[in-house]
A and B are shown apart, each in its own frame.
Chain A
């Protein structure tokens, strides 16, 4: 088991966002969490990457280590968990290359960094052409590629992806998910949250359904795709 989350509670001031989530991810898996807007999908990822604090009583274990002991930057540099945030959040004032190099900020293995950046360029060739361009000038698809590439350089064990399909045309979406498959083949476990449930369930092996801060359903993607409730609520009937 790679990541285990037990009884995860998160609140924003008086508003409760997560009501005690329990889930597990094995090494090498692709897992998705689907749910409506405001269900708590982004919050779940932010709790894992420690951008938002988990409440007392929550437990998270990553490779046998207590994840809650690590601050956000150490989750990346020590545990090698990367996070592609909602809306990409690239550093638009930095060049494509600088964005990638910054992702390697805490890494000391110069050769490895170079290889990883080359690998990113090999699957996202458009980025290589634009490496000296400011990230803010990239198209939506290129930005998503850079956001994923940046995450790949920052941490390779587990990649958390928040709505990678957002704002992308269907064809581009496919190619982004194909690249994610390749990253998974390189040995990176993937946890994905998506509003686009069909896309997510076609991509992932296993999924969870999140509703109002509770995981209400889990199972193999195929079963979820055929589940009448899921069909009705998330797949358009």
Chain B
């Protein structure tokens, strides 16, 4: 039982990363009917931006002998990195997707993949192939709850993730921008007749998705403090699988499927040798998709942004 609970906690943590990234895939798909194949690399760039900001803030604090509490530093890092990474997302939309909006979808998939490779190469050229280690922001404190070990880092990761997802939910449900996004997911063509600019909405959607990916990158950096230029491929694809599993275009589905993917991976590794983890985990997902080809919340021919 203790062993089980321990794994639940790990699964929730992994699920948080996947969910935050998967939401970005789903949001873009729901309004533009395309998958942003650069999203994994935006996550990677977001993590590096987080690394840069962290180094900078710690450096400034050290140089000027200001002592800021850790929670404040973390909050600042997350906010600044999310803000900066949103511009990376808008840049991708402007450069790789907007000029191809009327082009065949396959072309846009290629430009997306290409700009992802450009990001990887730029990071590689700037920082070298060596992995960089994320500065330890939060000294680990381990709580022993009836034999189950929970670190304060895991609690922070899960709470921040859930907080961001809740904020996004409120944004989509309550603001006029969120309303326009839901409308776009229903009928892309007539949205301009409401006085809504498709370009502005596309930029906003990329900005939000990228900001969430950046948050995922920083939280990942807290849990596993090593960054490399190819991290976006690995986790990006995992999150992409979660977005498909949740149902194309469903934000709620993507979030839930992100956690499900975390659970499947962790529990497969709990029972089977860890080398077989992804083999078995993805076989399970293939079976699920064979039974439900549109994922949990997806629809056959339309994507709808649901809450």
Which stretch, A35-43, A89-97, A118-126, touches the partner chain B? A89-97
CA distance A104 to B180 in the complex (A): 11
CA distance A154 to B183 in the complex (A): 15
User: Who on chain B is nearest to A98 by CB?
Assistant: B179
Q: Say whether B198 faces chain A, with CB atoms less than 8 Å apart.
A: yes
CA distance A76 to B198 in the complex (A): 13
Interface bits A84-118 vs B (CB < 8 Å: 1, else 0): 01000101111000100111111100000000000
A150: chain B residues within 8 A (beta carbon): 194
Contact count band on B: 20 to 34
Interface bits B124-144 vs A (CB < 8 Å: 1, else 0): 000000000000000000000
Q: Say whether A71 faces chain B, with CB atoms less than 8 Å apart.
A: yes
CA distance A91 to B31 in the complex (A): 13
Question: For residues 188 through 202 of chain B, which have their beta carbon under 8 Å from a beta carbon of chain A?
Answer: 189-190, 192-198
Contact of B183 among A71, A91, A107 (CB under 8 A): A91
For the complex formed, measure the closest distance between the CB of B60 and the CB atoms of chain A, giving whole angstroms: 40
CA distance A208 to B197 in the complex (A): 32
CA distance A51 to B194 in the complex (A): 12
Report whether A93 and B306 are in contact in the complex, using a CB–CB cutoff of 8 Å. yes
Report whether B186 and A94 are in contact in the complex, using a CB–CB cutoff of 8 Å. yes
Contact of B198 among A73, A89, A102 (CB under 8 A): A73
A106: chain B residues within 8 A (beta carbon): 195-196
Also in contact, A105 and B196, with CB within 8 A (given A93-B182, A93-B304, A98-B179): yes
Q: Say whether A83 faces chain B, with CB atoms less than 8 Å apart.
A: yes
Report whether B176 and A101 are in contact in the complex, using a CB–CB cutoff of 8 Å. yes
Residue ranges of A at the interface with B (Cβ–Cβ < 8 Å) = 49-51, 71-74, 76-77, 82-83, 85, 89, 91-94, 98, 101-107, 150-151, 154-155
Would you mind naming 17 contact pairs between A and B with Cβ atoms under 8 Å apart? Answer: A49-B193, A50-B192, A51-B192, A51-B193, A72-B192, A73-B195, A73-B198, A76-B192, A85-B190, A92-B186, A93-B305, A98-B179, A101-B179, A102-B179, A102-B194, A102-B196, A151-B193
